[in-house]
């Protein structure tokens, strides 16, 4: 059976997301991208929405809920929140929203930096399959995918973003 799912153009989705966010950005806003895909998107969103917006990145490896099962992720990157989280309106950015566990971990980590005024979630793709009561406020596209399919964001040499679909590695 051929795969008849249409993979959207990530660059287009990025534009749509930026357009959705624009009315909600103010001086108190901050973008926080989740490694690695979310961080790329957050950077691009800042380019599109205004260089003055505070930008941070989060690596959630230390906040995951599956440490006992799979141990430490082989490639941990430092989190970098170069602004005070206290009282800020954070826009958390990720590439694909799926089970919701990554977002749960990211929020826990963010709260260890301080108490934000609010956190809203912006994702390029919401593929359903939630295992936790978490929802995105800004979505580029909705896609229904089977559990054995892995949707990935890639960044080309030129910085262009693209989405690809691969069977889940066992």
Partner 1 sequence: MLTNPQLNQHGELQHLLTIEGLSARIIRHILDTADSFVPVAERDIKKVPILRGKAIFNLFFEPSTRTRTTFEIAAKRLSADVINLSIGASSQSKGETVLDTVNNLAAMQADMFIVRHSQSGAAHLIARHVAPHIHVVNAGDGRHAHPTQGLLDMYTIRHYKKDFHELRVAIVGDVMHSRVARSQIHALTTLGVPEVRVVGPKTLLPTGVEKMGVHVYHDMARGLKDVDVVIMLRLQNERMKGALLPSAQEYFKYYGLTPDKLAYAKPDAIVMHPGPMNRGVEIDSSVADGGQSVILPQVTFGIAVRMAVMSILAGK
Which spans of this chain sit near partner 1 (rule: CB under 8 A)?
A: 59, 61-64, 67, 70-72, 74-80, 108-109, 112-114
CB of 106 to partner 1, least distance (A): 13
Q: What is the DSSP string of 97-133?
A: ESSSHHHHHHHHHHHTT---SEEEEEEEEE----SSS
CB of 58 to partner 1, least distance (A): 11
Exposure string over 113-131, b if 16+ CB within 10 A, otherwise e: beebeebebbbbbbbeeee
Closer CB to partner 1, 95 or 109, in the complex: 109
CB of 105 to partner 1, least distance (A): 9
Pairing of strands 138-142, 118-126: parallel
Q: Please tell me the distance from the alpha carbon of residue 35 to that of residue 53, in angstroms, as a whole number.
A: 19
Tell me which residue has tokens 């950015």: 93
Closer CB to partner 1, 80 or 131, in the complex: 80
Closer CB to partner 1, 112 or 131, in the complex: 112
CB of 112 to partner 1, least distance (A): 4
Closer CB to partner 1, 40 or 113, in the complex: 113
């Amino acid at each position: 059976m051929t795969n008849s799912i249409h993979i959207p153009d990530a660059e287009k989705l990025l534009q749509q997301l930026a357009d959705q966010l624009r009315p909600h950005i103010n001086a108190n806003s901050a973008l926080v991208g989740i490694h690695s895909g979310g961080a790329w998107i957050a950077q691009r969103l800042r380019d599109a929405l205004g260089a003055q917006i505070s930008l941070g990145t989060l690596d959630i490896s230390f906040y995951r809920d599956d440490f006992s099962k799979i141990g430490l992720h082989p490639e941990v990157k430092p989190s970098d929140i170069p602004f005070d989280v206290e009282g800020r309106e954070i826009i958390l950015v990720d590439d694909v929203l799926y089970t919701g566990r990554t977002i749960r971990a990211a929020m826990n980590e963010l709260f260890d930096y301080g108490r934000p005024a609010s956190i809203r979630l912006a994702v390029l793709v919401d593929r359903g399959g939630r295992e936790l009561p978490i929802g995105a406020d800004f979505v580029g596209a909705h896609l229904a995918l089977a559990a054995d399919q892995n949707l990935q964001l890639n960044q080309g040499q030129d910085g262009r973003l693209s989405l690809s679909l691969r069977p889940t590695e066992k």
